[in-house]
Amino acid sequence: MKVKKDNQPIIMFVVLGISAFYYFIIKKEA
């Protein structure tokens, strides 16, 4: 699986954003 170095930070940011969004929803629902 080859990933361009230019895209890596963007992918990391997206993954972190989705994780934070999910965590916020779970925390709000609880």
pLDDT digits over 1-30, tens only?
Answer: 676 777 788 999 999 999 999 999 999 887
The per-residue pLDDT for 29 is 82
How far apart CA 26 and CA 24 sit, in angstroms, is: 6
pLDDT of 18 reads 97
Q: What pLDDT sits at residue 5?
A: 72
Using the 8-state DSSP alphabet, how is residue 27 labeled? H
Residues 6+ positions from 3 with CB-CB distance below 8 Å:
11
